[in-house]
Amino acid sequence: MSAYQPSERTRVRRKPSRGGYDVELVHSILDEALTCHVGFVADGQPYVIPTIHARLGEVLYLHGSPSNRMLGALAEGTPCCVTATLTDGLVLARSATQHSLNYRSAIVFGTAREVSGEEQKRLALRTVVEHMVPGRADVVRGPDERELDGVAVVAVAIEEASAKVRSGPAIDKTVDVDPERWAGVLPLALTAGSPMPDESVAEGLPAPEQVRNWRRG
């Protein structure tokens, strides 16, 4: 499958030229975003909860405390909507109404299942660590049985998905275009600072290569 099939839920209505259903595009946004927002309804109340996600194929793993409301609701089969957003720039026009953001976002609809098998849980938690820092799962201690029992994991199967991307300059009305008034884009990027070692780390021990060289995406 190279593209998700647009449906009544996922068809991008406003500025459809910015919408896309390409699987690689949706995956790339989900993979680059460090966090997502999960929307679901519990007892008639809509919630939108920020959380960490990690994708493996057509599945998004979410994890947390076994008493977590969101994970509990999702494990019971409550449908959910997962959104990931990357903010790429401030679009600064000459008129107030033409100001915008450059962004890439993905919206996924799916239904979750609880991940309870030991091997599946290990795989999910490994995927979460790899999502944060590729290569790190191989150098950290994996969870023991008690730790596995102490964490709830759900797998959201991607049923439908769409992406929306805005890029490029401000779109000023012709009457506002004036070479003597500045307009343009201020690119934004998430960059890593210098690694700060834990105080228990031996002096002079360098951070692992995958931490030193971490880049968003």
Ligand X SMILES: Cc1cc2nc3c(=O)[nH]c(=O)nc-3n(C[C@H](O)[C@H](O)[C@H](O)COP(=O)(O)OP(=O)(O)OC[C@H]3O[C@@H](n4cnc5c(N)ncnc54)[C@H](O)[C@@H]3O)c2cc1C
Residues forming the site for ligand X (CB under 6 A): 35, 47, 49-52, 63-65, 68-70
Name the minimum Å distance from CB 67 to ligand X. 6
Name the minimum Å distance from CB 84 to ligand X. 11
Cβ-proximal residue to ligand X, closest one: 64
Nearer to ligand X, 45 or 200 (CB): 45
Name the minimum Å distance from CB 23 to ligand X. 24
Nearer to ligand X, 51 or 120 (CB): 51
State the burial class of residue 192 (Cβ atoms within 10 Å of its Cβ: 0-12, 13-18, 19+). Answer: exposed
Nearer to ligand X, 49 or 207 (CB): 49
Element containing residue 111 per DSSP (H, E) = strand 100-114
38 residue type, one letter: V
Name the minimum Å distance from CB 80 to ligand X. 13
Strands (E), 65-99: 79-92
Name the minimum Å distance from CB 128 to ligand X. 8
Which one-letter DSSP state was computed for residue 119?
H
Nearer to ligand X, 132 or 139 (CB): 132
Contacts of 171 (CB under 8 A, 6+ apart): 93, 98
In DSSP notation, 21-74 reads -BHHHHHHHHHH-SEEEEEEEETTEEEEEEEE-EEETTEEEEEE-TT-HHHHHH
Name the minimum Å distance from CB 43 to ligand X. 11
Nearer to ligand X, 32 or 172 (CB): 32
Nearer to ligand X, 72 or 134 (CB): 72
Coil, strand or helix: which one is 193? coil
Contact 125, 167 (CB under 8 A): no
